[in-house]
Structure 1
Amino acid sequence: MAHNKITLNNRVDMPAIGLGVFQTPPDATTAAVEEALDRGYRHIDTAAAYLNEREVGEGIRRSGVAREDVFIETKVWISDYGYGATLHAFDKSAGKLGVDQLDLLILHQPLPSRFDLTLDAYRALEQLLFDGRVRAIGVSNFMPEHIDRLLNETSVVPAVNQIELHPYFQQTAVQKVNAEHGILTQAWSPIGGITSYRDAERRTFDDPTLLEIASAHSKSAAQVMLRWHLQQGRSVIPKSTKPARIAENFDVFDFELTTEQLAVIDALDTGVRGGPEPDSITLEAYGREIPEA
């Protein structure tokens, strides 16, 4: 599906919609991945720290979809930052996924208190890219100051910066910096799922503005939010384990939001982050051992 492709800054094509598996229990991951691939998804986003890479790989194999037709994205956790440790992190992730090459490998978080380790980790990603073991490299949750320092001290511009982004938290400054450098903005929690348990009184799914737009297109609020991202050039990785929701989240290519509707959604931004502040991520607070393959 050509309309489901985004070309990264190194000319690699990536499906714009992927299935996210953050907080998906390992025993539910394989079935969710298999269902998504059956519904037409060709992009799966996981991470070493999710502890379900092995099950993602099993879901891909069970789906019967050829490996070369599935875009696999995963992330290196901060405990494996540093040049040698990050090279080994690739081996661990690839081994669990059961593949020789990853399509996109990104750093899961900046590590501001040890940015030297962050830089060494990224240099390892550059080496993996040079060696052909990954097709593209990137970062996640990097703020403008992190991106600027990374670009000043490394050689390869990240292909992707995956950040929390939904109608209630749009990070326009980060999006602007990404765009200036040709870095694709990829949205995690793209339909605001994080709002459901951080603030039960204010959920994107219940927003009257989104529901009104959804009604006008005979779609759901979730589908409207995903369409908003896609029309503004972003990649999205909605998460679900429910077959009906997995299918619904992919059914967003048969309608178009108007310029006015896009602007109305833009105006919903509250500036309130749902996930942790990037500068709060430290090895002391968030370090965890990532098991071997």
Structure 2
Amino acid sequence: MDCPRSNSSTCSSGATVNLTCSEPLRLVGGASRCAGTVELRLIGEWRRVEERYGDWYQEDTTALCRDLDCGSAVYGEEKSGFPQSRVWRVTSDCVKKSSVRECVSDSFSSSWGLEVKCSDLVLNRPIISVSVSDGASELQPQGVQVQLGSKFRVKCSVEPQYPGGSFRLLSPAAPPAQNCTLPAVNHSAHFLFSDAGPAHKGNYTCVYLLQVSDHNFSSQSHTLQLSVGESDSDLIIRAVVILLLMLLFTLPMYYYCKARARRGARERTSDDLELHRGRSM
């Protein structure tokens, strides 16, 4: 129901109301609805959009293509030479975080405007999962836990949409420059890890990469948190070792204290005997 504007027909009480939502943002003059000059409708009037300070970046184009449901950004830039007219001015910092319609600062007469082209291609979001070949794994509220020293596999997959592509795994196990990239086979890729340890703890993310018509597109999975814990047998062994160490430490102390107590008792008995003899004499 997030409709900035809508058209509705009047109706009698109890009848159904039909609403048609219209997005007050469009690209005009291009080869498709996902390419052209940016125009925004406010107060019932369509006007070109201009960046207030002339700072328009790829991230801004990405946000605008997202608002238009036009896939990934191909390019976007500010151009002059448009007919002098009033434009809606926006700020780049705002566009990165919010929708274009919420970032209008004022209206101004200008011959500048924004030219944008989007891919009109929306990739499915990849799916990330973890499985363990030896040992065991346990689902946690925010991810999965694998046993210390076990072998585990991270699977990146995506619903069939386009052939080919590749998967890149972002993980804490290696610096970003060394993160693995594997080709997509049957729309999936498997990343194998052995001897799980503290270095494998952290967040894992799959990135699906695809090239279409000399343009690169990507889609990112949600983040999976992986933790590494000890197995029950390891915990039992550790508890037994700790108990043995405590016994090894406490038993000598016990016998030492007991021996001192006996020696003290003998010394007190000897003193009592001598005192008794002295009184007798």
Task: Give TM-score, length-normalised by structure 1.
Answer: 0.20
* Higher helix proportion: 1
- Higher relative strand content: 2
Larger radius of gyration: 2
Q: What is the TM-score with the length of structure 2 in the denominator?
A: 0.21
**Greater RCO structure (CA 8 Å; 6+ sep):** 1
